[in-house]
Amino acid sequence: MKTLILHINLILLPLIGAAQITVPLRFDRYNTYQEVVESVKALNKAYPSLTKAVLVGKSEEGREIWALEINNPVTGEAKDKPGVYADGNIHGNEIQGGEVVLYLADYLLKNYGKIPNITKIVDRNAFYLIPVVNVDGRFHFMADGHTMNSSRSLRIPVDDDKDGLFDEDGYEDLDGDGNICRMRIKDPNGKYRTDPREPRLMVRVKEGEKGEWTILSYEGIDNDQDGKLNEDAEGYVDANRNWGFDWHPNYVEPGSGRFPFEGVGLRDIADYMKNRPNIIVVYAFHNFGGMYLRGPSNKDLGELIKEDIAVYDLLGKNAEKIVPGYKYLVSYKDLYPTTGDFTEFTHQVFGAYGFVAELYMRDQETYVKGSEAERKPSDPDPDNPNSREIERLKFNDNLANGTLFKNWTPFKHPVYGDIEIGGWIKYSTRMPHTFMLPDLVHRNAEAVIYAASQTPEITLELIGTKKLEGNLYQVDVRLKNTRAIPSMSYHAVKQKLYTKDILKLSGAKVVAGGEITDRYNNKVRYKKYKPEIQFLQVPGYGISEFRFLVEDASSVNLSYESVKAGKRTLTINLKKT
Amino acid sequence: MYSEKLKILCLSAILLVCLNMLTAQNYPTPDELKTSFENLAKSNQGKVKIHPLAVSPGGNQLIVAELGNEKTGLKNPAIFVLADPEGTNPMAAYASTILARMILKDEKNLNFTWYILPTLNPDALKNYFSKVLWKNPRNATVFNDDQDEVADEDGPDDLNHDGFITQMRVKDPLGTMMIDETDKRLLRRADPAKGEKGIYTVYTEGIDNDNDGTYNEDPPGGVNTGVNFPHLFKPFTTTAGLWPGSTPEVYALMKFIFQRPEIAASFVMGNTNFCLVPPEGGRKSTVDYNKIVIPDNMLESFNAEKGKTYTITELIELLQPYIEDDFEITPAMIINVLGLGEIINPLSEDVTWYKELSDQYKVYLKKSGFDLERLGPEKAKDGSFELWSYYHLGVPAFSFNFFTLPAYKAEKKDSSGISTAKLEAMKGEDFTALGEDVILKILKENNAAEKYKPLEVIEMVKSGKTTPKQLSAMLKAMPKPKSDSTLKALISFSDKNLKGKGYIDWQPYKHPVLGDVEIGGAVPFTLNVPPFAWADSLINLQLPWIFTLVDKLPQVKFAKYEVKDLGKDVWQIEIWVENTKYLPFPTAMGQQNRNAAPCILTLEADSLEFLSGYKRTPVRALGGLKATKLTFIVRLTRGKAIKASLESKSMGNDSLEIKLQPSK
Q: Give the Cα-Cα-Cα angle A323, A363, A148 (nearest 5 degrees).
A: 100
Instruction: Judge whether B606 is closer than 8 Å to chain A, CB to CB.
Output: no
Identify the DSSP state of B486: H
Distance from A496 to chain B by nearest Cα, in Å? 7
- pLDDT, average across residues B603-608: 96
Helix (H) / strand (E) element for B18: namely helix B2-22
A340 & A371 share domain: no
Q: For residues B274 and B399, give the distance between their C-alpha atoms in angstroms, rounded to a whole number.
A: 5
Strand A83-88 to A126-130 pairing: parallel
First to last CA, chain B: 71
Strand B599-604 to B616-619 pairing: antiparallel
A108 & A178 share domain: no
- pLDDT, average across residues B123-143: 95
Rounded to two decimals, the ipTM of the complex is: 0.93
**Which amino acid, residue A461?**
E
A357 & A368 share domain: no
A446 & A562 share domain: no
pLDDT digits (tens, 9 = 90+) for B413-450: 567 778 787 888 888 888 888 888 888 888 877 777 76
Distance from A254 to chain B by nearest Cα, in Å? 6
Residue A371 pLDDT grade (very low, low, confident, very high; cuts 50, 70, 90): low
Q: Does some domain include residue A148?
A: no
Answer with the residue of higher pLDDT: A61 or A367: A61
Instruction: Judge whether B327 is closer than 8 Å to chain A, CB to CB.
Output: no
Give yes or no for a contact between B297 and B339, defined as CB atoms under 8 angstroms apart. no
Residue A381 pLDDT grade (very low, low, confident, very high; cuts 50, 70, 90): low
| Cis amide bond preceding A296, omega within 30 | yes
Reference B374, options B548, B490, B477; nearest CA is B490
A462 & A349 share domain: no
A351 & A413 share domain: no
**Which among A248, A250, A496 is the nearest to B147, CB-wise?**
A496
* Closest residue on chain B to A504 (Cα): B149
A266 & A327 share domain: yes
CATH number of the domain that A439 lies in?
3.40.630.10
Q: Reply yes or no on whether the pLDDT at B3 is more than 60.
A: no
- Classify burial at A316, counting beta carbons within 10 Å of its beta carbon; exposed 0-12, middle 13-18, buried 19 or more: buried
**Which among B149, B342, B391 is the nearest to A502, CB-wise?**
B149
**Which among A251, A259, A345 is the nearest to B594, CB-wise?**
A251
Would you state the pLDDT for residue B326? 59
Would you state the pLDDT for residue B19? 42
- Classify burial at B582, counting beta carbons within 10 Å of its beta carbon; exposed 0-12, middle 13-18, buried 19 or more: middle
Helix, strand, coil share (%) of chain A residues, nearest 5: 25, 30, 45
Q: For residues A109 and A118, give the distance between their C-alpha atoms in angstroms, rounded to a whole number.
A: 9
Would you state the pLDDT for residue A17? 44
Would you state the pLDDT for residue B328? 72
Q: For residues B135 and B133, give the distance between their C-alpha atoms in angstroms, rounded to a whole number.
A: 7
**Which among B330, B594, B618 is the nearest to A164, CB-wise?**
B618
Q: Does some domain include residue A165?
A: yes
Give yes or no for a contact between A390 and A415, defined as CB atoms under 8 angstroms apart. no
Give the full edge-to-edge strand order of the sheet including A126-130: A51-58, A64-70, A126-130, A83-88, A279-287, A353-359, A291-294, A327-330
Q: For residues A457 and A438, give the distance between their C-alpha atoms in angstroms, rounded to a whole number.
A: 31
Would you state the pLDDT for residue B16? 42
Residues 6+ apart with CB under 8 A from A12: none
Identify the DSSP state of A499: P
Q: Reply yes or no on whether the pLDDT at B347 is more than 90.
A: yes
User: A226 to chain B: which residues are within 8 Å by CB?
Assistant: 614, 616
What is the architecture, at CATH level 2, of domain B556-659? Sandwich (2.60)
| C-beta atoms surrounding B543 within 10 Å | 17
Strands, DSSP E only, in A441-565?
458-468, 472-481, 501-506, 510-518, 523-526, 533-536, 543-551, 555-562
- pLDDT, average across residues A441-467: 97
Asked if A164 lies within 8 A of B597 by C-beta distance, the reply is yes
CATH (one of 3.20.10.10, 3.90.1150.10, 3.40.630.10, 3.30.565.10) for B27-143+221-282+361-404+528-553: 3.40.630.10
Q: Reply yes or no on whether the pLDDT at B482 is more than 90.
A: no
Would you state the pLDDT for residue B304? 86
| Region(s) of chain B under CATH 3.40.630.10 | 27-143+221-282+361-404+528-553
Distance from A266 to chain B by nearest Cα, in Å? 13
A465 & A386 share domain: no
Q: Reply yes or no on whether the pLDDT at B564 is more than 60.
A: yes
| Torsion over CA: A289, A294, A299, A300 (sign) | positive
pLDDT above 90 covers what percent of chain A?
A: 87
| Torsion over CA: A425, A429, A432, A435 (sign) | positive
| C-beta atoms surrounding B117 within 10 Å | 27
pLDDT digits (tens, 9 = 90+) for A300-329: 899 999 999 999 999 999 999 999 999 999
| Torsion over CA: A360, A363, A364, A365 (sign) | positive
Residue A3 pLDDT grade (very low, low, confident, very high; cuts 50, 70, 90): very low
CATH number of the domain that A505 lies in?
2.60.40.10
Which SS3 state, helix, strand or coil, does residue A183 take?
strand
Q: Give the Cα-Cα-Cα angle A388, A389, A393 (nearest 5 degrees).
A: 120
* Closest residue on chain B to A215 (Cα): B325
pLDDT above 70 covers what percent of chain B?
A: 92
Q: How many CB pairs under 8 A join A and B?
A: 136
pLDDT digits (tens, 9 = 90+) for B11-59: 444 444 444 444 568 999 999 999 999 999 999 999 999 999 999 999 9
**Which among A336, A349, A529 is the nearest to B242, CB-wise?**
A349
Asked if A252 lies within 8 A of B342 by C-beta distance, the reply is yes
**Which amino acid, residue A153?**
S
User: A211 to chain B: which residues are within 8 Å by CB?
Assistant: none
* Closest residue on chain B to A268 (Cα): B246
Q: Give the Cα-Cα-Cα angle A188, A192, A198 (nearest 5 degrees).
A: 115
**Which among A215, A225, A254 is the nearest to B332, CB-wise?**
A254
What mean pLDDT, rounded, does chain A reach? 93
Would you state the pLDDT for residue B413? 57
**Which among A251, A270, A349 is the nearest to B335, CB-wise?**
A251
Stretch among A67-71, B329-333, B521-525, B565-569 having the lowest mean pLDDT: B329-333
Asked if A530 lies within 8 A of B212 by C-beta distance, the reply is yes
User: A270 to chain B: which residues are within 8 Å by CB?
Assistant: 243
Asked if A248 lies within 8 A of B342 by C-beta distance, the reply is yes
Asked if B620 lies within 8 A of A229 by C-beta distance, the reply is no
Give yes or no for a contact between A423 and A147, defined as CB atoms under 8 angstroms apart. no
Q: For residues B556 and A497, give the distance between their C-alpha atoms in angstroms, rounded to a whole number.
A: 50
Asked if B326 lies within 8 A of A164 by C-beta distance, the reply is no
User: Which residues are B269's β-sheet partners?
Assistant: B83, B400
Residue A538 domain boundaries: 458-573
Distances (CA, A) of B290 to A255, B335, B392, B427: 23, 11, 20, 37
Reference A59, options A38, A31, A90; nearest CA is A90
Reference A198, options A432, A408, A429; nearest CA is A408
Distance from B559 to chain A by nearest Cα, in Å? 22
Reference A105, options A20, A19, A24; nearest CA is A24
User: B245 to chain A: which residues are within 8 Å by CB?
Assistant: 244, 259-261
pLDDT digits (tens, 9 = 90+) for B333-345: 777 778 788 999 9
Stretch among A390-404, B328-342, B569-583 having the lowest mean pLDDT: B328-342
Would you state the pLDDT for residue B1? 40
First to last CA, chain A: 88
* Closest residue on chain B to A297 (Cα): B339
**Which among A260, A337, A530 is the nearest to B339, CB-wise?**
A337
A393 & A523 share domain: no
Q: For residues A215 and A185, give the distance between their C-alpha atoms in angstroms, rounded to a whole number.
A: 7
Distance from B575 to chain A by nearest Cα, in Å? 18
Q: Does some domain include residue A297?
A: yes
Q: Reply yes or no on whether the pLDDT at A429 is more than 60.
A: yes
Q: Reply yes or no on whether the pLDDT at A391 is more than 60.
A: yes
* Closest residue on chain B to A496 (Cα): B147
Instruction: Judge whether B254 is closer than 8 Å to chain A, CB to CB.
Output: yes
Would you state the pLDDT for residue A376? 54
Helix (H) / strand (E) element for B349: namely helix B348-367
Q: Reply yes or no on whether the pLDDT at B123 is more than 50.
A: yes
Residues 6+ apart with CB under 8 A from B60: B30, B31, B122, B123, B126
Residues 43 to 82 of B: which have CB under 8 A from any A CB?
none
Answer with the residue of higher pLDDT: B440 or B637: B637
Q: For residues B559 and B562, give the distance between their C-alpha atoms in angstroms, rounded to a whole number.
A: 11
Would you state the pLDDT for residue A163? 93
Q: Does some domain include residue A152?
A: no
User: B593 to chain A: which residues are within 8 Å by CB?
Assistant: 249-251
Q: For residues B316 and B550, give the distance between their C-alpha atoms in angstroms, rounded to a whole number.
A: 37
Would you state the pLDDT for residue B480? 56
Identify the DSSP state of A211: P
A248 & A306 share domain: yes
pLDDT digits (tens, 9 = 90+) for B193-234: 889 999 999 999 999 998 888 899 999 999 999 999 999 999
Instruction: Judge whether B340 is closer than 8 Å to chain A, CB to CB.
Output: yes
User: B148 to chain A: which residues are within 8 Å by CB?
Assistant: 499, 533, 535
Residue A71 pLDDT grade (very low, low, confident, very high; cuts 50, 70, 90): very high
Domain total for chain A? 3
Give yes or no for a contact between A82 and A125, defined as CB atoms under 8 angstroms apart. yes
A211 & A250 share domain: no
Asked if B211 lies within 8 A of A529 by C-beta distance, the reply is yes
Residue A436 pLDDT grade (very low, low, confident, very high; cuts 50, 70, 90): very high
Asked if B326 lies within 8 A of A247 by C-beta distance, the reply is no
Disruptive mutation site among B144, B149, B634 for chain A (greatest number of A CBs within 10 Å) = B149
Distance from B12 to chain A by nearest Cα, in Å? 45
Q: Supply the DSSP string of A281-346, one letter for each residue.
A: EEEEEEESSSEEEES-SSGGG-PPPHHHHHHHHHHHHHHHHHSTT-EEEEIIIII---SS-HHHHH
Disruptive mutation site among A160, A187, A238, A251 for chain B (greatest number of B CBs within 10 Å) = A251
User: B595 to chain A: which residues are within 8 Å by CB?
Assistant: 250, 258
